[in-house]
């Protein structure tokens, strides 16, 4: 997706009022700290880490043997301790940590279910659940799968795992039973935490049912399923495997000392899509991730003790891990958490929530902003958004029109906007404005965070001149970086460290302008971003060919006004099967049940053959062109079968 055609290069500085009170109040302050962080990373990060709690100090800030980093080697710490105990020690015990509201509403529009937990109360619940986990046989190093809606118990479960040193693997509630099964097997995880269901757009999502299906698929490999009661819906029960959350915590002590964990102890796995094969388990460890999320959250959102911070992401994605759970809690702020859809019961829900809890910092995705834009500026106007001080965006390039709409209609023209570029792999925000310092240009993620050394290079690794597009790489290790792909060192090396010699390869295309501002163009591999959700074309293709009528399938992303990119599938059928409209629906449904609703193609097209090069590679460029413009021009001389394109062209018109 290109953002360049409608952008201006005029940078607007933050208001003097915002800068005056900000952690980083000027570009000079930013430049000098950034330079220091690059020239002396060990000195810089050592000083930053001194503000966190360690049971034992590190021997060395960084040990770097490309592509393997050890940050704070030799140290012992615990992320759950830093999010909870350390906050209480610092006088934050009675401060609200989480303000939650569920989706269902009463007749007068107020939420049916709400819960506020102070840091002390959250601590007690985490300890109690951590003891319950131990009682259920979960030990340090056991991978625990978590598949839950956005309820406080999701954060409690993660913090309880972190407390006892059991790495969590959170799976987004939109994924199917098959997707859960694949992740269970890859992580060799024998324990699942789930709920009977979750509310989404007025309906119950049958989470427990999906877990049951996954358990069946992995055939007896799951020892325990802990089930939180959320929806009062009917579920199946396996008495020797399933245990209710409320029964598991019954009688458990609210005291559970945090394990002293090695700095490089595995904190979590988070599965994400790559260009080939099945999703990969991105591995993050303890101390580096902890320091990086704390430090980025503080500076990017300019967090202050009284902030009421709301990130609308789902915790099933990295954004929720880093900027709902671990980053904000380490900063002792109040987190707003909401269970359901932005349009339930109507499109005012988000603005009601901002108004009700006096939200000061708000972080969402471009897709959501575009959806709000479509509903009109009247809706946010009906609510008091005057407490907002800062707005953030993440997940995909933001088009300047959406940026400007967000600025005017949500931020009232007075809030800095932070367009934050990062990835599941990076653990935290990498390229971003610092709100009190960086003049912003709509559509640009602007400048690197402290300690981050990005560059735009060509295929040989040579930096390209300003304003020319190339590949985005990171030239130095950083504390929040992934430590590997779980169980697959070769893929880790190949995916991230061999494309451009000596650098971390992001998979994104970008350009850098004459002011050193980065403009992210989008993925250069076969990863697509649909509503900010990351999907691999290969996994959707294999879902399609698992349908009995499908012979071959090619999936591409094409630009979509609302969702950024949309999925188009080109399908050939096995002989003897007829093309008809109902089969299109059937195939969309099939992808939905194999992977999850977020992976359903918007457009399915049938063709006699797929355009291929002589060596048998599918010519995706042609398919993308076809899906985007409706026809194909340009060089097709290497096509195996020119008639394919003729068929596709006539199909499209």
Nearer to ligand WT7, 445 or 571 (CB): 445
Local structure of 136: helix, strand or coil: coil
Q: Which is nearer to ligand WT7, 77 or 364 (CB)?
A: 364
Find the shortest distance in angstroms from Cβ 419 to ligand WT7. Answer: 5
Using CB under 6 A, which of 421, 486, 518, 570 touches ligand WT7?
A: 421
User: Which of 163, 183, 447, 523 is in the footprint of ligand WT7 by CB under 6 A?
Assistant: 523
E strands, 286-416, where?
Answer: 308-311, 334-338, 361-364, 390-394
Contacts with ligand WT7, 598-627, as mask; x by CB under 6 A: ------------------------------
**Could you tell me which stretch among 130-138, 344-352, 419-427, 545-553 binds ligand WT7 (CB under 6 A)?**
419-427
Site string for ligand WT7, 424-443 (x = CB under 6 A): x-------------------
Min dist CB 375 to ligand WT7, Å, is 23
Neighbouring-strand partners of residue 535: 528
CA 87 vs CA 185, 257, 329, 488: distances in Å: 36, 15, 8, 37
Report 245-274 residues binding ligand WT7 (CB under 6 A): 272
Residue entry with tokens 């935290």: 428
Interface with ligand WT7 includes 2 (CB under 6 A)?
no
In angstroms and rounded to an integer, the radius of gyration of the C-alpha atoms of the chain is 24
Nearer to ligand WT7, 270 or 568 (CB): 270
Residue 97 to residue 120: CA distance in whole angstroms? 9
The answer to whether residues 99 and 311 touch, using CB atoms and an 8 Å cutoff, is no
d(CA 119, CA 91): 10
The H-assigned helical ranges of 88-176 are 119-135, 152-164
Q: Measured from the CB atom, is 77 or 367 closer to ligand WT7?
A: 367
Smaller CB separation from ligand WT7, 124 or 598: 598
Is residue 174 involved in binding ligand WT7 (CB under 6 A)?
A: no
**Non-local CB neighbours of 483 within 8 Å, separated by 6+ positions:** 68, 69, 264, 266, 283, 284, 285
Q: Compute the residue count for the chain.
A: 653
**Stretch of 10-18, 505-513, 541-549, 605-613 contacting ligand WT7, by CB under 6 A:** 505-513
Stretch that binds ligand WT7, among 42-50, 151-159, 165-173, 516-524 (CB under 6 A): 516-524
* Minimum CB distance to ligand WT7, residue 13 (Å): 20
**Is the distance from CB of 96 to CB of 504 less than 8 angstroms?**
no
User: How far apart (Å, rounded) are the C-alpha atoms in residues 97 and 334?
Assistant: 5
Q: Which of 2, 423, 542, 593 binds ligand WT7 (CB under 6 A)?
A: 423
CB 47 → ligand WT7: shortest distance, Å?
26
Q: Which of 445, 540, 583, 618 binds ligand WT7 (CB under 6 A)?
A: 445
> Shortest CA distance to 418 belongs to which of 431, 428, 405, 408?
431
> Is residue 242 close enough to count as binding ligand WT7 by CB under 6 A?
no
- Specify the 3-state DSSP secondary structure of 246: helix
Residue 332: CB minimum distance to ligand WT7, A: 23
* Shortest spacing between CB 348 and ligand WT7, in angstroms: 26
Residue 118 interacts with ligand WT7 (CB under 6 A): yes or no = no
531 binds ligand WT7 (CB under 6 A): no
Give the chain's end-to-end CA distance (angstroms, integer).
23
Q: Which residue pairs, CB below 8 angstroms and at least 24 apart, start in 212-219?
A: 212/177, 212/236, 212/238, 213/176, 213/177, 213/178, 213/180, 213/181, 214/177, 214/178, 214/180, 214/181, 214/184, 215/241, 216/177, 217/177, 217/178, 217/181, 218/181, 218/184, 218/185
Does position 520 interact with ligand WT7 (CB under 6 A)? The reply is yes
418 binds ligand WT7 (CB under 6 A): no
Q: Which stretch binds ligand WT7 (CB under 6 A): 56-64, 206-214, 391-399, 596-604?
A: 391-399
Q: Does 508 bind ligand WT7 (CB under 6 A)?
A: yes
User: Given candidates 147, 422, 449, 606, which one binds ligand WT7 under the rule CB under 6 A?
Assistant: 422
Helices marked H in 70-206: 79-83, 85-87, 119-135, 152-164, 177-187
SS3 assignment, position 164: helix
Residue pair 34/41 in contact by the 8 Å Cβ criterion? no
419 binds ligand WT7 (CB under 6 A): yes
Q: What residues numbered 283-322 form the site for ligand WT7, per CB under 6 A? A: 317-319
Is 323 one of the binding residues for ligand WT7 (CB under 6 A)?
Answer: no
User: Between residues 165 and 392, which has the closer beta carbon with respect to ligand WT7?
Assistant: 392
Complex with ligand WT7: residue 402 or 610, whichever CB lies closer: 402
Among 149, 395, 454, 477, binds ligand WT7 (CB under 6 A): 395
Residue 4 vs 233, nearer CB to ligand WT7? 4
447 secondary structure, DSSP code: S
Task: Give the span between the Cα atoms of 43 and 450, in whole angstroms.
Answer: 13
Residues 6+ apart with CB under 8 A from 255: 127
Tokens of 409: 């209609």
The minimum distance between CB 272 and ligand WT7, in angstroms, equals 5
Q: Shortest gap between Cβ of 468 and ligand WT7 (angstroms)?
A: 18
Is 275 a binding residue for ligand WT7 by CB under 6 A? The answer is no
Enumerate binding residues for ligand WT7 (CB under 6 A): 272, 317-319, 394-397, 419-424, 445, 506-508, 520, 522-523, 529, 534
């Amino acid at each position: 997706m290109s953002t360049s055609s409608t952008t201006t290069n005029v940078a607007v500085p933050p208001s003097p009022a915002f800068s005056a009170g900000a952690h980083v109040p000027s570009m000079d302050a930013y430049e000098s700290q950034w330079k220091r962080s690059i020239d002396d990373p060990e000195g810089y990060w050592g000083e930053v880490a001194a503000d966190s709690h360690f049971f034992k100090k590190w021997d060395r800030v960084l040990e770097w043997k490309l592509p393997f980093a050890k940050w704070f080697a030799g140290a012992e710490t615990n992320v759950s301790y830093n999010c909870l105990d350390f906050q209480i020690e610092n006088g934050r015990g009675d401060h609200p940590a989480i303000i939650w509201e569920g989706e269902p509403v009463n007749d007068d529009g107020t939420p049916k279910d709400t819960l506020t937990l102070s840091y002390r109360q959250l601590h007690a619940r985490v300890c109690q659940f951590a003891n319950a986990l131990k009682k259920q046989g979960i030990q340090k190093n056991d991978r625990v799968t978590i598949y839950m809606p956005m309820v406080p118990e999701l954060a409690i479960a993660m913090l309880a795992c972190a407390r006892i040193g059991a790495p969590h693997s959170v799976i987004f509630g939109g994924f199917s039973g098959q997707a859960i099964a694949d992740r269970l097997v890859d992580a060799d995880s024998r324990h699942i935490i789930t709920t009977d269901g979750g509310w989404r757009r007025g309906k119950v999502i049958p989470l427990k049912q999906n877990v049951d299906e996954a358990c069946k698929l992995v055939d007896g490999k799951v020892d325990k399923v802990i089930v939180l009661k959320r929806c009062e819906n009917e579920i199946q029960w396996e008495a020797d495997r399933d245990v209710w959350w409320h029964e598991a915590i019954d009688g458990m002590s609210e005291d559970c000392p945090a394990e002293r964990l090695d700095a490089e102890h595995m904190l979590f796995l988070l599965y994400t899509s790559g260009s080939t094969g099945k999703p990969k388990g991105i591995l993050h460890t303890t101390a580096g991730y902890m320091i990086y999320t704390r430090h980025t959250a503080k500076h990017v959102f300019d967090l202050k003790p009284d902030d009421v911070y709301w990130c609308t992401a789902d915790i099933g994605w990295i954004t929720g891990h880093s900027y709902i759970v671990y980053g904000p809690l380490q900063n002792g702020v109040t987190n707003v958490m909401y269970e359901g859809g932005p349009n339930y019961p109507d499109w005012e829900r988000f603005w009601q929530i901002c108004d009700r809890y006096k939200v000061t910092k708000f972080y969402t995705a471009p897709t959501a902003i575009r959806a709000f834009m479509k509903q009109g500026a009247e809706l946010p106007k009906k609510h008091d958004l005057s407490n907002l001080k800062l707005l953030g965006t993440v997940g995909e390039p933001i088009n300047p029109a959406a940026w400007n709409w967000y600025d005017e209609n949500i931020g009232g023209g007075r809030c800095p906007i932070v367009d934050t570029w990062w990835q599941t792999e990076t653990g935290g925000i990498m390229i971003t404005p610092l709100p009190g310092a960086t003049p912003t240009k709509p559509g640009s993620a602007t400048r690197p965070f402290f300690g981050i050394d990005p560059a735009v290079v060509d295929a040989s690794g040579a930096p390209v001149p300003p304003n020319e597009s190339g590949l985005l790489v990171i030239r130095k290790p950083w504390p929040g970086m992934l430590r590997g792909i779980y169980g697959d060192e070769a893929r880790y090396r190949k995916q991230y460290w061999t494309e451009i010699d000596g650098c971390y390869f992001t998979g994104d295309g970008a350009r850098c302008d004459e002011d050193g501002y980065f403009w992210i163009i989008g993925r250069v591999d076969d990863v697509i971003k649909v509503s900010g959700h990351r999907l691999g074309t290969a996994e959707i293709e294999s879902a399609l060919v698992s349908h009995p009528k499908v012979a071959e399938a090619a999936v591409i992303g094409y630009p979509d006004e609302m969702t950024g990119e949309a999925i188009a599938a080109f399908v050939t059928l096995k002989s003897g099967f007829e093309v008809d409209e109902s089969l299109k629906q059937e195939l969309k449904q099939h992808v939905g049940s194999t992977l999850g609703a977020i992976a359903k193609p918007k457009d399915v097209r049938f063709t006699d053959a797929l355009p291929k090069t002589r060596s048998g590679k599918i010519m995706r460029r042609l398919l993308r062109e076809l899906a985007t413009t409706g026809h194909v021009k340009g060089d097709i001389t290497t096509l195996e079968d020119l008639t394919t394109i003729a068929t596709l062209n006539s199909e499209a018109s």
